[in-house]
Amino acid sequence: DVVGKDKWRVNNSSDKKYKPLPADEIVKKACSLVGVSLTYHLTKYNCEHFATEMRYGKAESRQAQTVETVAAAAAVGGLSGIVASVIGGLSHGSTY
């Protein structure tokens, strides 16, 4: 009823990795947080962290892990480009 005609799917992909907590325990934990202000952080505690913490007792986010991996790869790639540029410049007699 809530989603109307919109498309939706249940994402319990971590059920293979962790055993879900009993439904009544999940509801009890979630209800205990009503009115509590939680600090949002894109990679450290986002809505996926919250959902997995409620369901499995472990705050994890595959989305955040992907963002961190891509950021690390971009940093390594950028650093490699800088090093290659400096080495290329030195081999052509340029001074910095």
All structural domains of the chain with their residue ranges: 13-91
3-state secondary structure of 19: coil
**Distance between CA 16 and CA 52 in Å, rounded?**
13
3-state secondary structure of 18: coil
Q: What is the pLDDT of residue 86?
A: 75
Q: Do 96 and 86 form a contact (C-beta atoms < 8 A)?
A: yes
pTM value is: 0.60
CB atoms within 10 A of CB 52: 21
Q: pLDDT 10s digit of each residue in the chain, 96 long?
A: 678 899 988 888 889 999 999 999 999 999 999 999 999 988 889 889 999 999 999 999 987 677 667 777 777 788 777 877 777 766 665 555
